[in-house]
Each structure stands twice: as C-alpha cells, then as structure tokens.
Amino acid sequence: MKTFVDNAGRTWTVAINVDAIKRVRDLAKVNLLEVVEGKLLERLISDPVLLCDVIYCVCKPEAETKGLSDADFGRAMAGDAIDGATTALLEELVDFFPQGKRRVLSKALAKLRKLETAALAAVETRLDSPELERRMATQLAELENAPAAAPPAIVAWELIWQCAGILALHPGRLTLRQLVEMAQARQAERWNHTAAILAMLANVNRDPKKGRALKPADFHPLLKSKSHADASPPLKGDIRMLKTLFIDRRL
C-alpha cells in the first residue's frame, strides 16, 4: 500500500485491489484494468480532476471514516498533493497486476515520466531563451508601427467606386446600398449568360450513359453559394459612415 498527504495535512492510504477497482468502476465509471492499454494511463497523468475522482473512489471507505465528502477531499487536492497522489495510485496499479503485465506497465509508466520530464525541461529552456524575448519584442514593435486602419468614410468611398466600376457609370446621387444591389445584379446577370453557355458546351460533350444532364445552376457560382452553409456573409460596415457621406457631406 502507498500513501500520500493532502494539503490539509491528512495522510491517505491507496490500496488497489479487486474491491477498489469495482468501486472505481461503479462510482467514477472508470475501468482501472484498462491502464495496461496505455490510454487510461495518459489520461490519469494529464487530467488531475479525473485522477482525484479515481483516488477518492479508492479511498472512499477511509474518507467516510474521517467524515469527508468528495468535495472536502477535492478542496485539499492541489499542487504537490496531486503529484504525490498520482505516484501512489500508479505505483499501486503496477503492483496489482501479475508479473508479466506488471513489467509492461512499469516500462510504460517510466516512459511517460521520462517524456513528461523532457517536455517540461524543453518548455523551461524555451522560456529562458533570449530568442523568445527577442521575438516578442519584434512582434510588439511591428504592432506599434503597423499602419492605422483606414477611416470608415474612406472604406465607403472605395466600395462606391468599386461598384461604379462594375456598373460602368458615375455614382452620382446613388446611395451605397443602391450601388451594391445594382452591382450584384449585374454580376448575377453576367453569370446567368455564362453559366448557360457552359452548361450547353458540357452537355454537348458529355456521355449520356455516365451522368445526368448538367444545368446552368451547376456552373453558376452565385447560385451555388446560396445553397451552401459556407456562403459569404452579407456586406457589413459601420452605419455611421453613411451619415458622414450623405448627410454631413464632409468628404
């Protein structure tokens, strides 16, 4: 049997036997016999909450004797107490199995601990590296020197002239919404014509035995985008820029 001490100074005894394994399976829905396969071993090491639940189930008779609930037990589990409980539980699990499985489980546990130590050392080395500080300083400098975003009014005028270019007209007194609707209609009309030609060419050259006749909608990107969940969202902008453009006339 192995022991550990929680943060309240209480000593707990971890004993893995058939009764304890059945209790953990019934209460925590965890089958400790699966630890030989490896995945449960990784979960117990990486998930302290699951680990504490399992250990409480193992120590439940002792907790009841001490008059402690699972919440009381959990409040005293943090930091080094979890590390000590982890070691006690895993070593008891290794000792529970017959010699063959015990040897395999011991090797797996040693390997995991070695990898965990190496990973922590690598992270610590990286945090201590001056290269990390240099990269952070460079990124902060780039953020400070980054050009400011264009004012909403300028963005609005860019969109107005883009729509005017599609429509081949001067925007005049047309509103931004009118220009966008007109530009979208022009693009849709052009694609209606193009999609019809593409469908006709495809049907002339297709093998009737290998598939259905193609429709213009199969080539129409605007129609296809409406039928997919990842369709482009509607244009959005700061509505205050419309007041600046068409009411205040500041630009």
Domain boundaries, the chain: 2-128, 152-246
Q: Is 206 left (phi over 0), alpha (psi -120 to 50) or beta?
A: beta
Residue 165 has a CB neighbour count (10 Å cut-off) of 10
Instruction: Read off φ and ψ for residue 234, nearest 5 degrees.
Output: -65, 155
Quick one: tokens of 222? Answer: 């605007």
Task: Please list the helix, strand and coil fractions of the chain in percent, rounded to the nearest 5, in that order.
Answer: 70, 5, 25
What pLDDT does residue 229 have? 46
Please give the helix or strand (H or E) that residue 129 lies within, else none: none
What pLDDT does residue 177 have? 86
Closest CA to 52 of 23, 89, 91, 106: 89
| Residue 168 DSSP class | T
CA angle 136, 138, 140 (to 5 degrees): 70
Residues in the chain, overall count? 251
Q: Walk along the chain (251 residues) and give the pLDDT tens digit of each residue.
A: 889 999 999 999 999 999 999 999 999 999 988 887 767 877 887 888 998 999 999 999 999 999 999 999 999 999 889 989 988 988 888 888 887 777 777 777 777 677 777 777 877 787 777 776 777 788 778 777 766 666 677 788 888 888 888 888 888 888 888 888 888 888 888 888 888 888 788 777 777 777 788 788 888 887 765 555 455 555 566 666 666 666 665 54
What pLDDT does residue 235 have? 57
What pLDDT does residue 29 have? 92
Residues 141, 227 contacting (CB under 8 angstroms): no
**C-alpha to C-alpha distances, 7 to 12, 56, 57, 65, 85, nearest whole angstrom:** 11, 15, 18, 19, 11
Residue 205's identity, in one-letter code, is N
pTM comes to 0.48
